[in-house]
Amino acid sequence: MSKGVTPQSKDYAKWYTDVVQKAELADYSPVKGCMVIRPYGYALWENIKSELDRMFKDTGHVNAYFPMLIPESFLKKEADHVEGFAPELAVVTHGGGKKLDEPLVIRPTSETIIWSMYKKWINSYRDLPLLINQWANVVRWEMRTRLFLRTTEFLWQEGHTAHATADEAFEEAYRMIGLYRDFAEHYMAMPVLVGKKTENEKFAGAVETYTIEAMMGDKRALQSGTSHYLGQNFAKAFDVTFQNENNEQEYVYASSWGVSTRLVGALIMTHGDDKGLILPPKIAPYQVVIVPIYRDEESKSEVMRYIEPIKKQLGDSGVRCHVDMRETLSPGFKFNDWEMKGVPLRLEIGPRDVKNEKLVVFRRDRGEKETVSRDAFTASVTAQLDTIQNDMLKARKAFREHNTEDISSYEALKARVDAGGFARAYWDGSSEDEKAIQEACKATIRCIPFEQPGTEGVCFYTGRKTKQQVILAKAY
């Protein structure tokens, strides 16, 4: 565990799986493509989940739970949807020792089962909007899997809302991608670009897909959350109509939106370094870890007496604090271990600190160590955690800016893609052009950012004038 990880510069993919395993975030399971989320990794997901859940509820959403098993025929009701998901389905053919009359699929996403219920629940405009979220596991049969980033089974939340007007459903999809951006930036310290997906990249069954795209440490893009304006596609597929205020029957309008355990992967690759994880304080399971240093029973009890009130004060300040009391491990081993696990602040406390009423603070994101007065530390700890949180976001923003280039020729795009990073470019190409670029140099249009320059330029691919800029990059 203390042996360190493959350096990022040597093999980023290997670095990533090393960190996931050595920080005990997840492990491979005996089931192909499925991972085990270990307690430390699950604690990250719990922190992500509880903040998001609060944000969903603050914006009027409620949670519910729908069956995981869906009749195969349901998936087929929306043409784009079945085309998109059919190749990825896990199919239950037997139950209770018998062959089933109709096979059931394990949900790859829940639009179809949920809209089959909305048909039952929605009659009038008075029943709208319906703002339901679900925390659940889903299964998509993936050929090439990577811990957290792409696994056959993963955990996620999926919001499914029903509205009386297109505008309202549209606004909801827009609001939720904004909520995801706020969460990514303020909690995960992960800057994201917000925008629309192209036709090629949108969700199977959506009219429009919005996305947040983050830049990982290897300068590749990671799609970190999406929200979809579904129009009346699923309402039509499941015949869900409502009586509007003018007593007319109309199909219901819909949105859906989700983020998944992939966010844990995003967290690792946004901040991690060659010593392991670096966690933003707001998401870290432990914000402060205390490593006591002692030689014998006497100095141990002295150090522990000194630590006790510090721990209490930190707890009273709402700081998640852990004292590492493992007896068989050396302080040096513990230092490395908590660096691997990305704890924002580590306190080292030995007999000399006790005598001087001081302590040693190690700040993980900067790798800086200093000796400070105990009272000054405890009085300012929450401010220090805030500073770390903000500095981490700032650092990642600077990193992204540094690795984003405005390009105006196909050659420049290829050079940027080879070097890594985001290319920002005017774009007026077709879906076929986009596919051709992807095949030639592996870059895809990550998004059409909501924020546009408003000026006109020349499409780097077609040479036509356009006002639309896009972001291109290699992506996970």
Question: To the nearest whole angstrom, how small is the minimum distance from the Cβ of residue 108 to a copy of itself?
Answer: 11
d(CA 218, CA 286): 26
Distance between CA 468 and CA 465 in Å, rounded? 9
Question: Strand 345-349 and strand 358-363: pairing?
Answer: antiparallel
Residue among 5, 52, 70, 176 that touches a copy of itself (CB under 8 A): 70
Tell which one of 5, 106, 381, 472 touches a copy of itself (CB under 8 A): 106
Q: What residues numbered 143-162 form the site for a copy of itself, per CB under 8 A?
A: 143, 152-153, 155
Is 113 one of the binding residues for a copy of itself (CB under 8 A)? Answer: yes
Q: Is the distance from CB of 72 to CB of 91 less than 8 angstroms? A: yes
Tell me which stretch binds a copy of itself (CB under 8 A): 25-33, 197-205, 377-385, 452-460: 25-33
Question: Distance between CA atoms of 223 and 211, rounded to whole angstroms?
Answer: 7
Q: Which of 10, 14, 54, 126 binds a copy of itself (CB under 8 A)?
A: 126
By C-beta, is 101 or 368 nearer to a copy of itself? 101
Q: How far apart are CA 138 and CA 241, in angstroms?
A: 28
Kind and range of the H or E run holding 210: strand 208-215
Contact flag: residue 20 with a copy of itself (CB under 8 A): no
CB-based contact 297:216 (threshold 8 Å)? no
By the rule CB under 8 A, 39 interacts with a copy of itself: yes
Long-range CB contacts for residues 363-367, cutoff 8 Å, separation at least 24:
363/388, 364/278, 364/279, 364/339, 365/271, 365/278, 365/391, 365/392, 365/395, 366/391, 367/275
- Closest C-alpha among 367, 360, 358 to residue 388: 367
Longest distance between any two alpha carbons in the chain, whole Å: 83
Contact 219, 420 (CB under 8 A): yes
Q: Which stretch binds a copy of itself (CB under 8 A): 119-127, 345-353, 422-430, 447-455?
A: 119-127
Which C-beta is closer to a copy of itself: that of 113 or that of 189?
A: 113
Q: CB 209 → a copy of itself: shortest distance, Å?
A: 23
Q: Which stretch binds a copy of itself (CB under 8 A): 57-65, 75-83, 201-209, 377-385?
A: 57-65
Q: Which of 19, 20, 35, 212 binds a copy of itself (CB under 8 A)?
A: 35
Asked if 286 and 39 touch (Cβ cutoff 8 Å), the reply is no
Confirm or reject binding of residue 463 to a copy of itself (CB under 8 A). no
Q: Considering only residues 306-335, where is the footprint of a copy of itself by CB under 8 A?
A: 328
Q: Which residues of 297-317 are buried (b: 16+ CB within 10 A; e: fewer)?
A: eeebebbbebbeebbebbeee
The residue (of 37 and 354) whose beta carbon lies closer to a copy of itself is 37
User: Looking at the DSSP assignment, which residues form a beta bridge with residue 321?
Assistant: 288
For the chain, the residue count is 476
Dist CA 21 CA 25 (whole Å): 6
Q: Which of 3, 9, 58, 97 binds a copy of itself (CB under 8 A)?
A: 97
Q: How far is the CB of 86 from a copy of itself (least distance, A)?
A: 8
How far, in Å, CA of 385 to CA of 397, rounded? 19
Stretch that binds a copy of itself, among 94-102, 162-170, 302-310, 442-450 (CB under 8 A): 94-102
Q: Contact with a copy of itself (CB under 8 A): which of 1, 79, 91, 379?
A: 91
Q: From the CB of 37, what's the least distance to a copy of itself, in Å?
A: 4
The distance of closest approach from Cβ of residue 256 to a copy of itself in the complex, given in angstroms and rounded to an integer, is 17
Q: Does 94 sit near a copy of itself (CB under 8 A)? A: yes
- Beta-bridge partner residues of 347: 290, 361
Region binding a copy of itself by CB under 8 A among candidate stretches 99-107, 204-212, 361-369, 450-458: 99-107
How many residues belong to the site for a copy of itself (CB under 8 A)?
57
Contact 413, 423 (CB under 8 A): yes
Using CB under 8 A as the binding rule, whether residue 76 contacts a copy of itself is answered as no
Where does this chain bind a copy of itself (CB under 8 A)? 27, 29-31, 34-39, 42-43, 45-46, 62-71, 74, 86-97, 103-104, 106, 113, 116-117, 120-121, 126, 132, 136-137, 139, 141-143, 152-153, 155, 328
